[in-house]
Structure 1
Amino acid sequence: MYPFIFISIALHLVSFLCIVLLYLKQSKSSEVREEVASSMEEYIEQLEQENDRLMTKVKTFVEKRDNQLDIRLRVLEQNGNSVKPQPEPQNSESPKLVEPVHYRQQPIQPPESKNPIVIQHPSSKNERNQKAIQLYQQGFAANDIARLLNCGTGEVELIVNMHGRSGQR
């Protein structure tokens, strides 16, 4: 009977030892899980901060470009068809005033050739007409196209209508 008691005690000790080892292993794995979770949270937080920083940079860049385009558009509207190069500011912190460029106007003298002057009929091959048709297909209104191309609204509507009729044939 003593050998059975000895074997029983030995089995109990082995089972308690296994229980303790499993408990330690489980506690270590939970610590590892917590470490992984905290490191993932830190990484996500860093990504969010980086994303926010990049978004603000993109927004300021887009606003800067939008302002530059608005300024150029106003200059073009004021000056009519004359296009004047405008240097882009290098440093946005200290904007420099740009003096307007004045061009000297000279009378246009016809070329001294004996070839007759050929007046071209406005067609879809004309660059302005193509640009008007392209802008119309992109969804711009006739007023906006006329303002961008410095021509009349009626002219733009006529170009679009003529293109529509020729496209139906």
Structure 2
Amino acid sequence: MIIFIFISIALHLVSFLCIVLLFLKQSKGSNLKEEVRESMQSYIEQLEHENDQLIDRVKTLVEKRESKIDLRLRILEQSRDKVVPEEDVPPREPPKEVQQYPKPGSVVLQHPSVRNDRKQQALKLYKEGFTINEIAKFLNCGVGEVELIVTIHGRSQQL
């Protein structure tokens, strides 16, 4: 019987030890939960702070761009107000020596020298300050053709 009592006491001690160990593990688990909660809270606070900084940067960039755009608009409006509207400006007449060519829609076979003359006249008018649209009207040719002549001539001048 003493053996049974001794075994019973030993089992009670082992079970008491197991209960203490489980209690310690549980208290450690609650500490771990608290640590995780605190680290997550600090992480969220850091994210909010960085987001606020990013929003401030974006706002300043947008404000800078808006101020630049406003300045450009004011400058354009001032320059537009200073320029006389095209409706008030009488259309310029081509110089007397500019030869009138047939309208672009009509099909006319031309000698290559005629195209060369047109090129020379287009360049001359461009140097005198006529716009590409005006030159195209004077020479009865396309705007693209005049642009091409002026562009190619400009490139050949650079070489």
Shift of 1:23: 0.9
Q: 1:113 and 1:75 mapped to 2: Cα distance?
A: 40
- Larger RCO (CA within 8 A; separation ≥ 6): 2
Paired position in structure 1 for 2:75: 75
TM-score, length-scaled by structure 1: 0.50
Identical-residue share of aligned pairs (%): 60
Give me the CA root mean square deviation. 2.7
Shift of 1:21: 0.6
Against the structure 1 CA distance between its residues 11 and 59, is the aligned structure 2 distance closer, same or farther, given a 3 Å change threshold?
A: same
Against the structure 1 CA distance between its residues 80 and 32, is the aligned structure 2 distance closer, same or farther, given a 3 Å change threshold?
A: same
Shift of 1:81: 8.5
Paired position in structure 2 for 1:29: 29
Against the structure 1 CA distance between its residues 110 and 38, is the aligned structure 2 distance closer, same or farther, given a 3 Å change threshold?
A: farther
Against the structure 1 CA distance between its residues 110 and 49, is the aligned structure 2 distance closer, same or farther, given a 3 Å change threshold?
A: farther
Q: 2:54 and 2:33 mapped to 1: Cα distance?
A: 31
Shift of 1:110: 3.8
Paired position in structure 1 for 2:150: none
Q: Deviations over 1:63-102 (max 9, x none)?
A: 11111111111111111199xxxxxxxxxxxxxxxxxxxx
Paired position in structure 1 for 2:53: 53
**Runs of 4+ residues over 6 Å off in structure 1:** none
Q: 2:25 and 2:99 mapped to 1: Cα distance?
A: 100
In the alignment, residue 77 of structure 1 is paired with which amino acid?
A: E
Against the structure 1 CA distance between its residues 110 and 17, is the aligned structure 2 distance closer, same or farther, given a 3 Å change threshold?
A: farther
Paired position in structure 2 for 1:14: 14
Paired position in structure 2 for 1:114: 100
Q: 1:109 and 1:72 mapped to 2: Cα distance?
A: 34
In the alignment, residue 100 of structure 2 is paired with which amino acid?
A: K
Against the structure 1 CA distance between its residues 12 and 25, is the aligned structure 2 distance closer, same or farther, given a 3 Å change threshold?
A: same
Q: 2:80 and 2:4 mapped to 1: Cα distance?
A: 111
Q: Unaligned 5+ residue runs, structure 1?
A: 83-107, 121-169
Q: 1:81 and 1:6 mapped to 2: Cα distance?
A: 111
Q: Which has the higher helix share?
A: 2
Shift of 1:114: 2.4
Compare CA radii of gyration and give the structure with the larger one.
2
3-state SS, counterpart of residue 57 of structure 2: helix
Q: 1:109 and 1:43 mapped to 2: Cα distance?
A: 75
In the alignment, residue 64 of structure 2 is paired with which amino acid?
A: K
In the alignment, residue 114 of structure 1 is paired with which amino acid?
A: Q
